Chain A
Amino acid sequence: MSLLEICQWMENLDWAVALRESQIVFPVIEGAHLLGLALMMVPVLMFDMRLLGLMWADEPASKIRNQFLPVTIVGGCLMVVTGSILFASEAVKCYGSNYFRVKVLMLFLATVNVIVFHSTIDRRIAEWENDSPPPPRAKLAGIVSILVWTGVIFAGRYTAYNLF
């Protein structure tokens, strides 16, 4: 089964059809998707700014991470659950959208950034967390995070416009 066939199958599931045609449920789930985004983005941004040394610079980086991470996870879960449901209801449209492909690529890059950060720089956080300015690699992780998440939001919004 090709990727397109999987998308067609998904989109034709009874609940996916019902959701696509719903005047109320679709906008509500889309709103929840944006709420999840807000709940996730701001804590991520706060930690990125700490990695860059631009905010919270007088607090240890691990404290800022630990304080904001639970909110990020709640927001992220809400976004993944609502995003999967929204995707299923418009799978073929997403498949054909270049913007959606950019969004998936950006999400992939964001995930790689998180994995690289947590398996390298974050492991030795105790060694550098009070350094001012923070080490270049921490700053790089912060900048990459801000850029790819901005890209995810742009590509995500543009997916809905049917521009090309």
Chain B
Amino acid sequence: MDLHAFFEWCDTTALGLAIRGNSWSFPLVETIHILAITVLLGSILMTDLRMLGLALRGIPVARLQRQLAKSIDISLLLVVLTGIPLFLSEAVKLDDNIAFRPKIILLVLAILFHYGVHNRATSSDAPAGPAWGKLAAVVSIVLWFGVGAAGRAIGFV
């Protein structure tokens, strides 16, 4: 099955049809999607600003991470759980949108980076994070901004 056939199949799923079937469910799910993105992006930015020494200097980075980990995990889960029905409801349209695939690729990279690398930096015993924490913070900001910019572009290109 080529990818386009898969996208066409997505378009016909019960969930996709249900979202498309009325005028109120897409806005509702998308608004929850954006609310979750706000919390996710904001929470990750807090740890990045801390490692860059730009804010929250009175709170050790590992302590900040422990407090924010739950809101990052829950909001990311919510972003994905709301993103899937949104995608299913207009899969073919998104396949034709040049911003969609870059967004998904950046999202996968950002998630892998977050749990594979970023979490290691933010669990450091050093109050401001490890020496390479600043680099991790910059990469994190670039990746998540990239996801956000590509996502924003979907509605405009």
Question: CA–CA, A150 to B38, complex, Å?
Answer: 11
Encode B78-115 as 1/0 by CB contact (under 8 A) with A.
Answer: 00000000000000000000000000000000000000
The answer to whether B39 and A42 touch across the interface, beta carbons within 8 angstroms, is yes
- B42 is an interface residue with CB less than 8 A from chain A: yes
Interface residues on B, range: 20 to 34
The answer to whether A153 and B31 touch across the interface, beta carbons within 8 angstroms, is yes
Identify whether the interface residues of A are mostly helix, strand, loop, or mixed: helix
Identify whether the interface residues of B are mostly helix, strand, loop, or mixed: helix
Q: What's the minimum C-beta distance from A42 to chain B, rounded to whole angstroms?
A: 3
A70 / chain B contacts, CB cutoff of 8 Å: 55
The answer to whether A39 and B45 touch across the interface, beta carbons within 8 angstroms, is yes
The answer to whether A42 and B27 touch across the interface, beta carbons within 8 angstroms, is no
- B142 is an interface residue with CB less than 8 A from chain A: no
14 contacts between A and B (CB under 8 A): A27-B153, A34-B34, A35-B41, A37-B38, A38-B37, A38-B41, A41-B38, A42-B46, A42-B71, A63-B58, A66-B58, A71-B46, A157-B31, A158-B31
Closest 5 CB pairs of A and B: A42-B42, A38-B42, A38-B41, A157-B31, A27-B156
**Which residue in chain B gives the minimum CB-CB distance to A58?**
B63
The answer to whether A43 and B46 touch across the interface, beta carbons within 8 angstroms, is yes
Seen from chain B, the residues whose Cβ lies within 8 Å of a Cβ on chain A are 23-24, 27, 30-31, 34-35, 37-39, 41-43, 45-46, 49, 55-59, 67, 71, 148-149, 152-153, 155-156
Question: CA–CA, A43 to B55, complex, Å?
Answer: 11
The answer to whether B49 and A71 touch across the interface, beta carbons within 8 angstroms, is yes
- A87 is an interface residue with CB less than 8 A from chain B: no
Question: CA–CA, A41 to B75, complex, Å?
Answer: 13
**Given A42-B45, A157-B31, A158-B31, CB of A23 within 8 Å of CB of B156:** yes
